[in-house]
Structure 1
Amino acid sequence: MQRILSAALLFLLASSLSGQEALSLWQPSQKSPGSWMELPADALSNAIVQVDSSLLAANKLLLLGDQTVLLGTPEKAFGGGWVTQAELIGDSDAEVLLAWNGSVVAASFRSSSRHFQLAWAGNGLHRVTELPTTSGFRCGTDLSHAINTPKPEAAPGGGGPRHHESIDVLIVYTPQALLGHGGSSSSMNNAINLGVKQTNNTFANSGVNQRIQLVHTAEMVGYTEKSGGSGFSSMLSELTNGSGVLSTAHTLRDQYGADFVTMLVANSSYGGVAWLMTNVSASFEKWAFNLVTQFSANRDWVLAHELGHNMGCAHDRQNSGGSGAYSYSYGYRTSGSPSYRTVMAYAPGTRLGRWSSPNVTYNGQTLGRANQEENVRTLNNTYSTCENFRDKQPILAVPTLLAGFSSYIQVFNTTPGDKVILGLSLTGAGPTNTPYGSALLTMPIHASPKLTADSAGEVNLNWNVPNSLKGLPAWFHAANITTSVLTNAETRTVL
């Protein structure tokens, strides 16, 4: 009934916009992209296009190729960009997501009959890649990745309704993975923001209480990937142990208070691999790591799948080789026709962005059996352990700064009502002693007035960047003065 109402509301909204012409987000281009980029092995076709990012506005009808969509309200995303969900006219079940930062745009389009992605190609161009509608994703997680940690904790009694608590995630990437985005960190962040949005959509569509929150992204400069399927497990071990330059990931995890760490790699032997939590224990925090190929960062719900392993979810019974956190922590594949499978389940069947549960249905088919396949219940029960792997830290996010334009500087991961001060130095990175600790700012420090965190625990400051700062560096540090905790420090050169 809810899907019928959603479709009806979408039809009425589209009808009210019937006088609005649907403009094409991109046009074919004969220009050459800025760099060579490897395509997914199963790509059906690709085309170079010119994108008009100025068309990305709320409640606008757009053509994505030959598909008409209605854009939703953009949300601020990590890295100073934006992300939004769109509705495919005539198909309320389709998932259409877009992310952008300036002129660099990414999109993921998936319906029952089409699957394509838009990504940066360099030289001011983008690439549209058509993909199969049936996922060929293979996960590298097997029994060797099942972690039996000591002192298992009893399952919570109910996993009752909560209000979208967040689990903090750090996503790092290799230099080779960045090459897959033409060396553009904006393109990489777009793909990551889409993957985070997709993951949270699977939670929302299944009745999972929590959401993931991206606290930071970073390149693992100097890291060289391992090749082949065995290389996947080797890289996961190196990430987990903080070997060599990957010690940076552990430093960042502590700095940003990330409960989980994902590393994106260029190796595509698997879609991903992760440690599987089989006992619900705080001591699993040292294993809360996973790998995802950069081709799957925002495809086929692979990021959700690998994080699901970390949170205690196993594959479907026929392909798991063992249980996850509980006896019911399995994915599910329906036996009806057509056949569907949940986030954690293997083929055959059409993959859905849903988690297994007897309370979740799709096209009239139930996506789990009570006490048999309940990954929704698993996630709701393991949440309180997972979100405490690291203490939450207030996070300062500073976008690209353009002289003569306004920029939103954000502090998030605070408690609603907390008081925050933002400091700016134009002379250096300090340090300077303050009542809240050692600020990485050199005197004189330009301080904002006390700012109050909103109901989401966020502070947003709109700064009109003076033209006189063009070409100059600026150093930022903020403090949650309610808790006397400093954020991370950030440096930007004004463009």
Structure 2
Amino acid sequence: MRLLSHDDHRHAARVSPTGRTAPPFRRAARRTPLWGLLLLAAWLLPAGAALAQPRELFTPVPANQLTDATPAQTQRIDQLRQRRTTQSLNLVRIDPEALRGGDARLTLPDARTLTLSSRRQGEGGGADFTWSAGSPGVPGQATFVVRNGDVTGTINDGASLYRIEPVGGGVHALIKIDESRFPPEHPPSFQQRQQRGDIPAPAPAQQDTQRADAPAVIDVLVAYTPSAAAAVSDIVATVQLAVAEANQSYQNSGINLRLNLVDSFQHAYTEGTNSFDTILADFAGNAGVNARRNNVGADVAVLIINKTDYCGLADAIMANANTAFAIVHYDCATGYYSFAHEIGHLQGARHDEANDSTATPYAYGHGFQHRSPSPAWRTIMAYACPGGCTRLQYWSNPNVSYGGTPMGTAATNDNARVLNGTAATVAAFRNRPPASTAGFVWRYTGTACSGNSCPGWQLLDNNAATVRLAASAGNLYQLHNSGRIWRHTGTPCSGNSCPGWQMLDNNGATVGIVADGGQLYQLHDSGRIWRHTGAPCSGNSCPGWQMLDNNGATVALAAGGGQLYQLHNTGRIWRFTGTACNGNSCPGWQMLDNNGATVGIVADGAQLYQLHDSGRIWRFTGAACSGNSCPGWQMLDNNGATVGIVAAGGSLYQLHNTGRIWRFTGAACNGNACPGWQMLDNNPATINLVASGNQLYQVHNTGRIWRHTGVACSGNSCPGWQMLDNNGSTGRIAAGDQLYQLHLARAPMTRARTCQECRPH
């Protein structure tokens, strides 16, 4: 939790003379369509500025057809056309720079021209930003997220809803939404949750005296399933858009609150036939999700799913710290405002009284329907009216008018008062962690620790987006959570300036990288494998990649000795034979094994090893599969305690779930007897191993890094380790001819099975 300063919240809602919080624009909105009013000269601008012509945002694609469409573009366009809520789809090219001037003009498919004036710009950096637009006293809102040169957004003029999604190559789909085809709000089980209220209502004085210069900030963690990510063009931008729309709705309705997105990630979960209740229970009870929530200090956690039965489900109306969870269908999350709706439930807001008559925890805490005179409309928490009514980006509030009609009543329909009153409570569900060095990359300079002093590290980068490292002789690479890949050019940081990185790719699908010698490979969340051909990016154009495979079953890569291997989620192991893909045909792979027990592979020179879920370790002897017969494997160990293997410099090592480390001495198993292992350490704090050349390193759950000096254990005494660092922020290490570490804002570290580079599966 934190409170914004006055300077941070320059656009906060104003306070009315009565002392009640009021929206920035108290003028009653006339029911003239948004597009008509926005054709007027720029509002409230100086005379010189009013004469400036806003840039056109959309350029229609001729005949609404891409004559040179790639297969990926065609597939995405077809997917969007078939979406349940799509009424019509038009293709346009978008100039994101048109949004930087503050005002932008756009032409809709029906030839209407809108001129939008920016209300807020920010929540991003560099080429990425969020842009919200509208006019005072005018119904409707537009919100765009610009990410990697693409635009994801919504336009709602109070009568029609449009959604914008990128389809690749600078082309975007402008989709008119049929709001009548959104799923029902909640499953029937929600009626039981409607009877629950976990904390009493704050006293009126607490509700009504919040100051506009100190809004509460609710930190939000948003996860999304692989299916939800595949259903939209840019899931990261979709999440950012949902948060931006919620924040704009608070400003529209005089609510002193902001959502702050502290974490967003793909959650390896399959919706399948699970009910909404089961999905929500699984999400709220997941140990990894809760650890991540605690680590980033998220007050609320939301999962974006792909299941069309309903729009969403919150765990409680007026949640406590343990029940502040919700799930939302991706298609309802933005434009229809279900993301904000479910968080509203967690804050104690209820539906309109016609659909929810419960008066606790707040008798005044209901959404609002306006049925007559026409046009009918409703606020974010209200259900659809009989015969239909447009959902507006507003919360019920009797002090805000729309078309001359108050948007609520003091006695029954004042969600704004509820959210103002509970914001500070929800914002205190988790404490924000102290400022961290997450994303910092360090290189070991050769000086080991002396006591607890460990000066032997040089800072190479300080970008919080960094989530993975890969290293080989003479090369260091990093992967960002946006999918961008960077190569270190050799220049260390000078103070906070870290210029020594060159971008190699910026594909949001990238989930893993692996390096071997001068080669770099990446793995996409679709299972596609790509090899870098040497060309860096030029701006956002990154042509230097060649596809080697496109199999959706691929979950891991390993590389060594000039060889590349992949592991499938079926346990099959494949070796690359050298032939790259030709279109979607990727014949260059030879099967080496097909054992469903395989959970990890590692490579070292000409050697390949695999680890089974039983703890058994196998070495490849050179014989590839013939049909389904794969005889080319020799067992090296069968210890059920084994959870990880690494290999380098001709040596193979294993890590046990007890923290013990063992080195292979060369003797393979004879039946079930596997004597060929020598113990190097037995410290239960050990959670990870990395090997390179003739060096072996271990990481403890405290963040300490140790290097093996060559001395094996004698009984339980294992003196052969030298401490190189003791920083609790250490999350990952990588080694080529040098050792590197990456700091992470991380949950408590645990041992994981071997995987040189994996994707969720």
TM-score by length of 2: 0.50
Q: What is the CA–CA distance in structure 1 between the aligned matches of 2:503 and 2:86, rounded to whole Å?
A: 45
Structure-2 change in CA distance of 1:434 and 1:363 (3 Å): farther
Higher RCO, Cα 8 Å, sep 6+: 1
Aligned with 2:499 (options 434, 442, 465):
465
Which string of whole-angstrom CA distances, capped at 9 and with x for unpartnered residues, describes residues 175-200 of structure 1? 00010134xxxx21211112111111
Please tell me whether residue 202 in structure 1 is matched to residue 249 in structure 2: yes
Structure-2 change in CA distance of 1:135 and 1:18 (3 Å): farther
Matched to 2:303, the amino acid is: M
Matched to 1:170, the amino acid is: L
- The more displaced of 285-294 and 328-337 is 328-337
Question: Residue 50 of structure 1 aligns with which residue?
Answer: 93
Please tell me whether residue 343 in structure 1 is matched to residue 380 in structure 2: yes
Q: Is the 1:260–1:288 Cα contact (8 Å) retained in structure 2? A: yes
Q: What is the CA–CA distance in structure 1 between the aligned matches of 2:422 and 2:230, rounded to whole Å?
A: 36
Q: Is the 1:118–1:127 Cα contact (8 Å) retained in structure 2? A: yes
| Aligned-residue offset at 1:235 | 0.7
Matched to 2:384, the amino acid is: A
- Unaligned stretches of 5+ in structure 1? 397-419, 449-460, 480-485, 491-495
| Aligned-residue offset at 1:54 | 3.8
Other structure's SS at 2:369 match: coil
| Aligned-residue offset at 1:469 | 7.7
The two structures, once aligned, show a CA RMSD in angstroms of: 4.0
Matched to 2:131, the amino acid is: T
Please tell me whether residue 168 in structure 1 is matched to residue 219 in structure 2: yes
Aligned with 1:298 (options 328, 334, 339):
334
Other structure's SS at 1:203 match: helix
Other structure's SS at 1:195 match: helix
Structure-2 change in CA distance of 1:318 and 1:85 (3 Å): same
Q: Is the 1:172–1:218 Cα contact (8 Å) retained in structure 2? A: yes
Identity of aligned residues (%): 22
Q: Per residue, is there more strand in 1 or in 2?
A: 2
Please tell me whether residue 139 in structure 1 is matched to residue 139 in structure 2: no
| Aligned-residue offset at 1:9 | 8.1
Equivalences for residues 113-192 of structure 1 within 5 A = 113-122=159-168, 124-132=170-178, 136=182, 138-140=184-186, 142-146=190-194, 148=196, 152=200, 154-155=202-203, 157-159=205-207, 160-162=209-211, 163-182=214-233, 187-192=234-239
Structure-2 change in CA distance of 1:137 and 1:304 (3 Å): farther
- Unaligned stretches of 5+ in structure 2? 1-24, 30-36, 463-494, 506-512, 515-726, 730-742, 748-761
Aligned with 1:425 (options 442, 466, 470):
442
Q: Is the 1:200–1:211 Cα contact (8 Å) retained in structure 2? A: yes
Please tell me whether residue 40 in structure 1 is matched to residue 83 in structure 2: yes
Which string of whole-angstrom CA distances, capped at 9 and with x for unpartnered residues, describes residues 249-287 of structure 1? 212111111111111111121111112325xx7xx2211
Number of aligned residue pairs: 426
Structure-2 change in CA distance of 1:21 and 1:78 (3 Å): closer
Other structure's SS at 1:55 match: helix
| Aligned-residue offset at 1:101 | 1.3
User: Which structure has the bigger radius of gyration?
Assistant: 2
Aligned with 2:294 (options 254, 259, 277):
254
Please tell me whether residue 314 in structure 1 is matched to residue 360 in structure 2: no
Question: Residue 634 of structure 2 aligns with which residue?
Answer: none
Q: Per residue, is there more helix in 1 or in 2?
A: 1
Q: What is the CA–CA distance in structure 2 between the aligned matches of 1:233 and 1:166, rounded to whole Å?
A: 28
TM-score by length of 1: 0.74
Other structure's SS at 2:433 match: coil
Q: What is the CA–CA distance in structure 2 between the aligned matches of 1:308 and 1:79, rounded to whole Å?
A: 32
Equivalences for residues 231-270 of structure 1 within 5 A = 231-242=275-286, 247-270=287-310
| Aligned-residue offset at 1:126 | 2.3
| Aligned-residue offset at 1:117 | 0.9
| Aligned-residue offset at 1:331 | 1.1
| Aligned-residue offset at 1:136 | 3.9
Other structure's SS at 1:287 match: coil
Other structure's SS at 2:155 match: strand
Q: Is the 1:25–1:55 Cα contact (8 Å) retained in structure 2? A: no
Structure-2 change in CA distance of 1:469 and 1:51 (3 Å): closer
Structure-2 change in CA distance of 1:135 and 1:463 (3 Å): farther
